[in-house]
């Protein structure tokens, strides 16, 4: 077997080599704009503006760090991100979020492959077998005709989604389309640059209600507030939380 090259002048050189070696594997627009490696990771950490993280993190244009791929692939340890955050007096909310990642990792260590199993029953009034096992094609191709297509396109083309967009898209898949969270989780993992079974699957289970006491849903006002969208049609998310929950979960008892 021929040895593969290991040294490259730059990312373009590496990309050209991969295209030549695996002509069918690399779609023309499949190369991420995120630079891998320890130096770019440190540069991003140093450049992160954490002063208003707590106030802005829920907004799509908020001051989030996009450090996740570096943390996920071990170019930055969670401890050094925490230490940096303490050095720059970052809001406690930022440390909290690092804590979530740590918590999910510890659970993963305990659960192993059971991370793919429902941790509890759905609290939606539906049983697991009433959810579709596979992801519908229109979700995979971003042709649902809803505003979720915007996020699907972003997920597939960039490998990144803001946390709030992940929550909305996951809730859409599980609750509006009644698809098992596992199918949504597989879809996310196949595209996210920070794709991680612990953070991903357990967040999906929290949204689905198989690892929380109630399902997470959003409404159009919530999407409008955090995206700043004024004109984009937001059906089928219009309405109060009460009305949406009644429609989505007609058999749910008061829990």
Ligand X SMILES: Cc1cc2nc3c(=O)[nH]c(=O)nc-3n(C[C@H](O)[C@H](O)[C@H](O)COP(=O)(O)OP(=O)(O)OC[C@H]3O[C@@H](n4cnc5c(N)ncnc54)[C@H](O)[C@@H]3O)c2cc1C
Contact footprint for ligand X (CB under 6 A): 57, 64-68, 71-72, 97-98, 100-101, 104, 162-163, 166-167, 170, 188, 192, 194-196, 199-200, 203-204
In the block, residue with structure tokens 């004109």? 231
Q: Which is nearer to ligand X, 53 or 249 (CB)?
A: 53
Q: Which is nearer to ligand X, 65 or 144 (CB)?
A: 65
Cβ of 124: how many Cβ atoms within 10 Å? Answer: 24
CA distance 118 to 46: 39
End-to-end CA distance of the chain: 61
Q: Least Å distance between CB 5 and ligand X?
A: 30
Q: Least Å distance between CB 124 and ligand X?
A: 16
CA distance 131 to 13: 46
Q: Which is nearer to ligand X, 188 or 237 (CB)?
A: 188
CA distance 188 to 186: 5
Give the length of the chain: 255
Q: Which is nearer to ligand X, 15 or 58 (CB)?
A: 58
Q: Least Å distance between CB 116 and ligand X?
A: 14
CA distance 171 to 184: 9
Q: Least Å distance between CB 198 and ligand X?
A: 8
Q: Least Å distance between CB 203 and ligand X?
A: 3
CB within 8 A of 43, min separation 6: which ones? none
Q: Which is nearer to ligand X, 23 or 112 (CB)?
A: 112
């Amino acid at each position: 077997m021929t040895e593969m090259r290991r040294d490259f002048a730059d990312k373009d050189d590496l990309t050209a080599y991969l295209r030549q070696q695996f002509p069918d594997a690399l779609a023309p627009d499949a190369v991420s704009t995120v630079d891998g490696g320890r130096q770019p990771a440190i540069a991003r950490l140093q450049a992160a503006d954490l002063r208003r993280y707590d106030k802005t993190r829920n907004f799509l244009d908020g001051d989030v760090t996009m450090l996740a791929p570096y943390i996920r692939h071990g170019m930055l340890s969670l401890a050094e991100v925490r230490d940096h955050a303490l050095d720059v007096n970052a809001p406690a909310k930022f440390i909290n979020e690092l804590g979530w990642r740590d918590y999910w990792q510890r659970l993963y260590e305990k659960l192993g492959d059971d991370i793919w199993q429902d941790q509890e029953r759905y609290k939606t009034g539906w049983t697991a077998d009433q959810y579709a096992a596979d992801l519908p094609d229109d979700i995979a191709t971003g042709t649902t005709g809803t505003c979720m297509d915007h996020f699907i396109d972003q997920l597939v083309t960039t490998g990144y989604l803001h946390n709030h967009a992940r929550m909305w898209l996951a809730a859409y898949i599980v609750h509006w389309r009644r698809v098992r969270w596992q199918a949504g989780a597989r879809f996310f993992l196949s595209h996210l640059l920070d794709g991680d079974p612990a953070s991903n699957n357990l967040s999906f289970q929290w949204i689905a209600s198989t690892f929380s006491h109630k399902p997470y849903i959003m409404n159009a006002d919530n999407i409008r507030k955090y995206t700043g969208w004024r004109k984009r049609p937001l059906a089928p998310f219009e309405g109060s939380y009460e009305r949406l929950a009644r429609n989505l979960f007609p058999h749910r008892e008061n829990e």
